[in-house]
Structure 1
Amino acid sequence: MDTFHVLGLMSGTSLDGLDIAYCRFTYKEHNWIYNILNANTLVYADCWIDSLRGAETATGRELIALDHAYGKYLGQQVRTFVEEHNLQLDFVASHGHTIFHQPDQHISLQLGNGAYLAAHAQLPVVCDFRTLDIALGGQGAPLVPIGDELLFKDYDFCVNLGGISNVSFSKNGKRLAFDISACNMLLNTLANSAGMAYDAGGQMARQGTLRHDLLLQLNAPAYFSDPYPKSLGKEWILENSLHTLATSSYSLEDKLHTTCHHVAMQLQQALEPLHEGQHRVLLTGGGAFNTFLVELFQQYLGPQYRVEIPAPEVVSFKEALIFAFLGVLRWRGEHNCLRSVTGAAKNNIGGAIYLG
């Protein structure tokens, strides 16, 4: 097959909702062409936010039950989306929702059981993209870079500002990538404390003052100077960045303002040593809508880096798009996880298939 119609599902660490993207991929003249034909973000009900947020402290029995229940929920949302829009699909590709990510302990768990998803969607499903790479000694993350390489190759850097910020780029003929810092996990948690889902456009952050001692604390962990391959999990963020913010006595506006500087500074420190000269930077993820953060990012990087924000559907649904694409590569039996990115023993073809 040279054309695939796939529904990509992505639930990020910031718990802002379930991204669903109906995508078409066509392989033509040794290039992949993509189209996002229909997409939506389904905001989680409070019960799902509470269940997913509290899953890391659940018992084994409770975790299994939640995995099955969340898989059923995903399948039901897929079935509804398909029927409402009268879609014809080849399969569903689902990332699931990450509960644990500790690659140094060979642990990474994404809830959303593929069998339950397939049964309730009544469609084939590709899921569990990370486990094989971890079994091969890799980080199991980031997984998006193969999609960056094949779908967005006109850009020198692909930066995603999601719950965690990450970057993907090519150097000496190899694709490389790593997680940079927590991003919306910090900003949204701060906004939540004031009863808001997020700080729209970074308006509250803009009103604050840069607190240099807090910035030093946020920048202090050794992770930021560690060599890649490397990746972040919710556990590390809770113990480090979020703990630092929670114990600070500064105002909410000052915390948001300083956190935006922290995120922008870590982006700059991650990108600047990698290349010289002029560069195009693709910026996606929810943080790309934070005008204050984007301004700081451009300010820290300087004029030699041209930061470009694509069409809104790509900004919002790029990860769902790429997990749909990872499903296509898995379906075709082609590598969808790169050892140069994750540090695994070899390139691999990750993903379990449930035919429903």
Structure 2
Amino acid sequence: MPRVIGLMSGSSLDGLDIAYVNFSSAGNYPEEKWTFDIIHAETIPYSSDWIKKLSTAIDLDARSYLLLHTSYGHYLGRCVNNFITKYNLKLDDIDLIASHGHTVFHEPWNGMTGQIGDGSAICSETGLLVVNDLRSMDIAYGGQGAPIVPIGEIHLFNEYRLLLNLGGIANITDQKYRIAFDICPANRILNKLVQEYFNKEYDENGLYSSQGQINEILLNKLNQLDYYKKLYPKSLSNSFGLDIIYPLLKNDKLNIYDILRTYTEHIVQQISNSIEMIIENEKQDKSTYINCKMLITGGGTHNKFLFQCLKSKLKENFGINIEYPDINVIDFKEALIMAFIGLLRIQKKPNVLASVTGAKIDTIGGAVWSN
């Protein structure tokens, strides 16, 4: 029974997610059936110093970037060591660490992606086998390098037709067609607005956004952005939210409550539009989604106002039933799947799907570090 620690740092910068997972399988590849058990999991909030370092990493010169890459790797390793101590784990209880790292650059059109968090540093701190750099192989084969979670969704959550992650960036998977793509910036923008205007980490339960009014002019500007017209496979970098969307919101003369309400509506509409895009491109009827189950995860799931707006929209437009899973799945699904992707890498099995990313082939991605 493989036992893996998965590490995930998302674009919302709320912290480092760590999940210790037991996996088991039955049957033979590629038809094997997988199950999982999240034994321990927690989010380690970033200090203000780390938030500043990670949020400004994109502006560093090459030497400073590599120094951060190394120091962040050592930090990840120390976090894992503290996690191991806290939960009384033994090194023999852990087969490997799979680390996504923190994305600084993501430019598949230039054949490049960059996640900091040196795997050799994690290995040296923990003494454990480490897999990282999970996206580069797919990009080298012409893919988007994202989303990479569908391989885990297919094997671990195959009872759901649709899966939606409301993280720093919202992304969707339709398992029937084995397609997935990034929809729009989500928590990263909402959190940044609330941090700037209210000095709060996030809009708890959507309290601030629920007090505003939708501004149709601003909403239309957002919905007309070129990315939303592109057909999948497609993926977003953090710079789309920070360099394109955030200035649009800041330059508008609305009060902050209306800005938050309008952006919340933008997220909801783009999720709905993404399903419309799938229907049109796959030449299906809307009825194909009636009563189908959608699993929703990620930090945005805790925003009750956003959740209710989305639930109403998808039920009204498509008849989709949103399911609210176990809290560990909501908060740690991506760390769980990073653990699974790392496990597949060690087993030399494909862990990124070409049907999702547009790559030439399914790839076995990840750099392996051991002492």
- Per the shorter chain, which TM-score range? over 0.9
Asked whether the 8 Å contact 1:298–1:307 carries over to 2, the reply is yes
Asked whether the 8 Å contact 2:100–2:132 carries over to 1, the reply is yes
Give the Cα separation in 2 of the matches to 1:260 and 1:217: 14
> 1:239: how far off?
2.3
Give the Cα separation in 1 of the matches to 2:75 and 2:238: 23
> 1:246: how far off?
1.6
Partner of 2:311: 298
2:46 is aligned with 1:44: yes
SS at match of 2:178: strand
Give the Cα separation in 2 of the matches to 1:122 and 1:45: 25
SS at match of 1:302: helix
SS at match of 1:38: strand
> 1:298: how far off?
1.5
SS at match of 2:217: helix
**What pairs with 1:38-77 in structure 2 (closer than 5 Å)?**
38-77=40-79
**What pairs with 1:266-285 in structure 2 (closer than 5 Å)?**
266-272=270-276, 273-274=278-279, 276=288, 277-285=290-298
> 1:201: how far off?
0.6
Asked whether the 8 Å contact 2:160–2:175 carries over to 1, the reply is no
Structure 2 unaligned blocks of 5 or more: 280-285
Q: What letter matches 2:349 in structure 1?
A: E
> 1:253: how far off?
1.0
Give the Cα separation in 2 of the matches to 1:107 and 1:255: 33
Q: What letter matches 1:39 in structure 2?
A: A
Give the Cα separation in 2 of the matches to 1:164 and 1:347: 24
Partner of 1:233: 237
Deviations 1:53-80 (A, max 9, x none): 1111101000000000000000011111
Deviations 1:124-159 (A, max 9, x none): 101000011111011111000111111001111000
Percent identity of paired positions between Structure 1 and Structure 2: 41
Q: Cα RMSD over matched residues?
A: 1.0
Q: What letter matches 1:136 in structure 2?
A: Y
**TM-score, normalised by the number of residues in structure 2:** 0.93
**What pairs with 1:83-102 in structure 2 (closer than 5 Å)?**
83-87=85-89, 88-102=93-107
> 1:84: how far off?
2.0
Q: What letter matches 1:260 in structure 2?
A: T
> 1:250: how far off?
1.0
Structure 1 unaligned blocks of 5 or more: none
Asked whether the 8 Å contact 1:207–1:253 carries over to 2, the reply is yes
Partner of 1:183: 186
Give the Cα separation in 1 of the matches to 2:125 and 2:310: 43
> 1:25: how far off?
0.5
Give the Cα separation in 1 of the matches to 2:174 and 2:151: 10
Tell me the matched-pair count. 352
Partner of 2:300: 287
Asked whether the 8 Å contact 1:79–1:122 carries over to 2, the reply is no
2:52 is aligned with 1:18: no
